[in-house]
Structure 1
Amino acid sequence: MKSETSAGVAAPPPAELAADPAVQRHILGVLVTSQILSGAGLAAGITVGALLAQDMLGSTGLAGLPSALFTAGSALAAIVVSRISAARGRRPGLAVGYATGAVGSVGVIAAAALDSPVLLFLALFVYGAGTATNLQARYAGADLAAPGHRARAISTVLVATTLGGVLGPNLAAPTGALAHAVHLPRLAGPFLLAGLAYAAAAVVLATRLHPDPLLLARAAAAPTEQAPADDPAAAAASTARTRNRVLLGAQVMVVTQVVMVGVMTMTPVHMHDAGQGTAASGLVIALHVAAMYLPSPLTGRLVDRHGPLAVGAAAGLTLLVAGLLAAAAPAHSVPLLALALVLLGLGWNFGLVSGTAILTDAVPLATRAKTQGGVDVAIAIAGATGGLASGAVVDLAGYPVLALGGGLLALLILPALATAAARGRR
C-alpha cells in the first residue's frame, strides 16, 4: 500500500527519499544545530567539574571523580539511547538523552547550593547522559550517507560541537558571576548554561529531526537486503570479519578516550595548583575542545581518502607527542599547556572519526544502533576509568607522570592497526 501525504499525493518511496541529497542536508542541519547547543552543555563539566569537587571535598585525590561519574553515567545513557534508537529511531533516543543531561545539570546546581557532595555525585552521573548523546549523534549523521562519504558526514556532526564547546569554557567567568548574583557558588555557573543548552538541544531534535535517518535508512535498504549465505563457512568468515572490525574500531576509540580524559581532567587542577585562575584554565580547555572537534572535516576527508587505519595510526602518534609535551611543560606556562591540550584533542579526533568509520562500515543496518551503543558503553567506561585514575596518579606521582603515561598508552593501538592492515593486504 502506497503512503500518501496529507494532500493525497503519493509520497516518495523510502529508497528515493533516502537518496535525496536534500533530505541528508536537512538531517545534518538539524544535527548541527543540536550539537552546537550540546557542545556548550558538555563543556561545563570539563571546565569546572573537577574544581567543584575539589572545593567541596578539599582533596585533589578525588578531583578526578566527577569526570569518572559523568562518564560512567554516559555508559548507562549510551545503552538507553541506543536501545531507544534501535526500537524507535534516532529522534526519540537523542532527545531523551539530552533531556536527561539537562536534569543532571539542575541537580549539580542544587548540590552546589546545598554544599552536598553526595547529591553532586548523583547529579554528575545523570549529567553524563548529555555526553553520551553528543557522541551518539555522530552515528545519525552517517545513517543515510554513501559509504565513500560516511566519514565526512560523521565529521560534519562532530565539528558542530566546536562552537558550543569553545564558547562554554570561556563563559565560565560570566556564568560564575551570574551564579554569584543569585546566591549560588560561582563554580555552579557553567551548569546553568549546561541545563539550558541541553534542554534546547532536546527540543530541536524532538521537533525537527524528520524524517528519522535510521528508520528511513532501514526502510530504503529492506527491499535490497540479501539473504544469509547458504555456505556456513562463508557465513562464519563474514561474521568473523565483522567481529574483528568492530573490535578494532572499539579499541581505537577506547584507548584514545582513556588517554584524552585522563590528561584533560587533571589539567585545570594542575593549573589551579600552580596559581592559575579559571580564566586561564578555561582558555586552555576551550582550545582543547576546539581541537577535539574543529579538525573533523579534514579528518573525515583523510579517512575517506586514505582509509581509517592510517588515520588511526596518526591518532596514536599525536597523543604520544601531546603526552610528552604536557609532561615537560611548566605548570605556569599557559602557551605550552595549551599546545599540549590542542594536540591531545587532535589525537582524540583522529581516533574517534577513524574508529567510528571502521565500526559503521562493518555493521549492517539491522544491528547498527545496538552495536554502536555497546561500543559507546565501552568508550564511556574507559573514560570513567581514565578520569577516576587520573586524580590518584597526580596525587601519588604528579601530573607529568600522568601525561607521559597517557602518551605511551596511546601507542597500544598501533600493533592492532598494523595487523588489520596486513590482514587486509592478504
Structure 2
Amino acid sequence: MAVLSAAQIVGGVGVAVGLALSSVLVDELSGSTVISGFAGTATVLGAALLALPTAKASGSGGRRAGLSLAYAAALAGCAISVLAISLRTWPLLLAGLVLVGGGSAGGLAARYSATDLSPKDRSARHLSLVVWASTIGSVAGPNLAKPADQIGMRLGLVEKAGPFAFAALAFALALVVVIGFLRPDPLKLARELNGAREEAGGRNRTIRTAWQTLRTTPMARRALVMIAISHTAMVSVMSMTPVKLHHDGSNLDVIGLVISLHIAGMYVLSPVVGWLADKAGKVPVLVLGMALLLSASALAGTAGHRVWQVTAALVLLGLGWSCGLVAGSALVTESVPIERRPAVQGLSDLLMNVCGATGTIVAGAIVGLLGYGVLGLVVGVMVAVAGLWLAAVWRRAAPGYGTADPAPVTAGP
C-alpha cells in the first residue's frame, strides 16, 4: 500500500501538470476550439489503448510489470510532447498525449493492485486509499505548471514545454518506485495464497476471458457501466473547462486553481467514499455519485462567466466521479474470481476510457458549435438516465446486492 501510494503521488504530478495545459496548447497551435477537445481525447484514448497491455502484463508478470509498462509509456509521451511544442505542431503533440495517457492507465491499475490482498469487507477502503494518494501530486500538479514553464525557459526550452519535461521526471520517478520497491508483487502473492493460476495468452485471450466472465456476472456488468458513465461525464466537462475559462479571459493561474480544486474533489474524500461503500453498499454510493454528477452538470451549464460557479461545478464533478470509480471498481473486483480479475479490470479501464475519449470528442464539437451551456445539459441528461436505470435495477435486485458481502447474482439484464 505504501509503495503504491508513493507511485500514485509522483505519477499524479505527471498527469496533472500536462492536464492543465494540454487543451489550451492544442487550441493555440491549431487555432480551433473544436480541435482543442482532441487534447483530452488523446490522453483518455491513450489510457484506453494501454489498459489491455497493462492488464496483460499484470496477468502474466504481476502488477509490477503492468505498472512499469504504463509509466514507461507516459515518460516517452512527455518527451514527444516537448518535441512537438518546440516544433509548433499540434498533430505530433496529440500523438505524444496519447502515450502520456499511460500515466492515467498506471494510476487506474494501481487502484486495483491495492485490492489484491484486501479482506472482502475492506476492498473499497483499500482501493480508495491508493486513489486518495493521488491527491498530493494531482492537486499540486496544475499549480506547478507555471513554475515548471519558467524553469524550462531558463534551461532553453520553448514556452509551455517545461511542464511536460517536469512531468517526464515525475513519471521516471514513479517507474523507479514501482520497479525497485513493489516487492513482493501483490497479485502474484494473492494467487499463491489462493492457489490460482496465472493468465496466459495474448490480448485477444485477455478480452475473451473478460467478456466470458462478464456474461455470467451481471453485478460486474452493471458496475462497469456505471464506471464508464461516471468517467464520461467527468472527462467531457472537465476537458473543455480550461478552454472555456481561457476564452472568458482567465489567466493560467486561475485555470490551474480551478483544475486543482476539481482534482481535489476527485481524490481528497475518496477514503470517506470507500468507507461508505463498504458500510452502506456499493450501489447506494453509485446512485449518490450520479446525483452529484447531475448537480455538477446543472451548475456548469448555467455558470455563464461566473468563475466561482464553474469552480463549484468542477468540485462536485470530481466528487461524483470518485463515488463512481471507487464503488464501481470495488464491486467489479468483488464480483469476479482472482484469476480473472486482471482481464476484467483491464477491460473495465478500456471501456471506461474509450467512453471518456468519445465524450471529449463530442464535448469539443458541442462547445465549439453550441456552447459550454449545452454541454452541461447533454451530460446532465445522460447522467440522469443512468442514475434512474441503476436505481430501478437496485430495487428489483436480490437482497444484499451491492453491499459489502453481496449475495450472488447470476441472472438479469
Identity %: 38
Match of 1:255 among 223, 229, 238: 229
Q: Distance in 2 between matches of 1:277 and 1:41?
A: 21
Amino acid at match of 2:98: F
Aligned pairs for 1:136-147 within 5 A: 136-147=109-120
Match of 2:367 among 378, 387, 394: 394
Q: Distance in 2 between matches of 1:174 and 1:352?
A: 31
Comparing 142-151 and 381-390, the one that deviates more: 381-390
Taking structure 2 as the reference length, the TM-score comes to: 0.90
Which ranges in structure 2 are unaligned for 5 or more consecutive residues? 198-211, 401-413
Match of 1:109 among 61, 82, 88: 82
Amino acid at match of 1:221: N
1:424 is matched with 398
Question: Alpha carbons of 1:374 and 1:240: their partners in 2 closer, same or farther (altered >3 Å)?
Answer: closer
1:276 is matched with 250
Q: How far is the alpha carbon of 1:70 from its aligned partner?
A: 1.4
Comparing 185-194 and 123-132, the one that deviates more: 185-194
Question: Alpha carbons of 1:73 and 1:241: their partners in 2 closer, same or farther (altered >3 Å)?
Answer: closer
1:177 is matched with 150
Match of 1:357 among 301, 307, 330: 330
1:88 is matched with 61
Q: How far is the alpha carbon of 1:241 from its aligned partner?
A: 8.0
Q: How far is the alpha carbon of 1:150 from its aligned partner?
A: 0.3
Question: Alpha carbons of 1:155 and 1:240: their partners in 2 closer, same or farther (altered >3 Å)?
Answer: closer
Residues 37 and 364 of structure 2 are in contact (CA less than 8 Å); yes or no, is this contact kept in structure 1? Answer: yes
Comparing 412-421 and 264-273, the one that deviates more: 412-421
Q: How far is the alpha carbon of 1:43 from its aligned partner?
A: 0.7
Question: Alpha carbons of 1:223 and 1:138: their partners in 2 closer, same or farther (altered >3 Å)?
Answer: closer
Q: Distance in 1 between matches of 2:27 and 2:287?
A: 36
Q: Distance in 2 between matches of 1:167 and 1:240?
A: 38
Question: Alpha carbons of 1:168 and 1:104: their partners in 2 closer, same or farther (altered >3 Å)?
Answer: same
3-state SS, counterpart of residue 187 of structure 1: coil
Amino acid at match of 1:186: E
Question: Alpha carbons of 1:106 and 1:218: their partners in 2 closer, same or farther (altered >3 Å)?
Answer: same
3-state SS, counterpart of residue 281 of structure 1: helix
Question: Alpha carbons of 1:212 and 1:240: their partners in 2 closer, same or farther (altered >3 Å)?
Answer: closer
Aligned pairs for 1:19-418 within 5 A: 28-222=1-195, 242-331=216-305, 333-414=306-387, 415-418=389-392
Q: How far is the alpha carbon of 1:334 from its aligned partner?
A: 2.4
Amino acid at match of 2:9: I
Question: Alpha carbons of 1:180 and 1:307: their partners in 2 closer, same or farther (altered >3 Å)?
Answer: same
Comparing 407-416 and 40-49, the one that deviates more: 407-416
User: Which has more radius of gyration?
Assistant: 1
Residues 326 and 337 of structure 1 are in contact (CA less than 8 Å); yes or no, is this contact kept in structure 2? Answer: yes
Q: Distance in 2 between matches of 1:313 and 1:109?
A: 41
Question: Alpha carbons of 1:202 and 1:239: their partners in 2 closer, same or farther (altered >3 Å)?
Answer: closer
Residues 17 and 144 of structure 2 are in contact (CA less than 8 Å); yes or no, is this contact kept in structure 1? Answer: no
Q: Distance in 1 between matches of 2:374 and 2:162?
A: 32
Q: Distance in 2 between matches of 1:242 and 1:260?
A: 29
Amino acid at match of 1:42: V
Question: Alpha carbons of 1:359 and 1:114: their partners in 2 closer, same or farther (altered >3 Å)?
Answer: same
Question: Alpha carbons of 1:240 and 1:118: their partners in 2 closer, same or farther (altered >3 Å)?
Answer: closer
Taking structure 1 as the reference length, the TM-score comes to: 0.88
1:17 is matched with none
Question: Alpha carbons of 1:330 and 1:79: their partners in 2 closer, same or farther (altered >3 Å)?
Answer: same
Amino acid at match of 2:280: H
1:229 is matched with none
3-state SS, counterpart of residue 397 of structure 2: helix
Question: Alpha carbons of 1:167 and 1:246: their partners in 2 closer, same or farther (altered >3 Å)?
Answer: same
Which ranges in structure 1 are unaligned for 5 or more consecutive residues? 1-27, 225-237
Comparing 253-262 and 181-190, the one that deviates more: 181-190
Q: How far is the alpha carbon of 1:186 from its aligned partner?
A: 2.8
Amino acid at match of 2:316: L
Question: Alpha carbons of 1:241 and 1:420: their partners in 2 closer, same or farther (altered >3 Å)?
Answer: farther
Q: Distance in 1 between matches of 2:364 and 2:107?
A: 25
Residues 214 and 220 of structure 2 are in contact (CA less than 8 Å); yes or no, is this contact kept in structure 1? Answer: no
Number of positions where the alignment pairs a residue of Structure 1 with one of Structure 2: 385
3-state SS, counterpart of residue 186 of structure 1: coil
The Cα RMSD (Å) is 1.7
Q: How far is the alpha carbon of 1:223 from its aligned partner?
A: 7.9
Amino acid at match of 1:385: T
Question: Alpha carbons of 1:295 and 1:257: their partners in 2 closer, same or farther (altered >3 Å)?
Answer: same
Amino acid at match of 1:218: R
Q: Distance in 2 between matches of 1:242 and 1:131?
A: 29
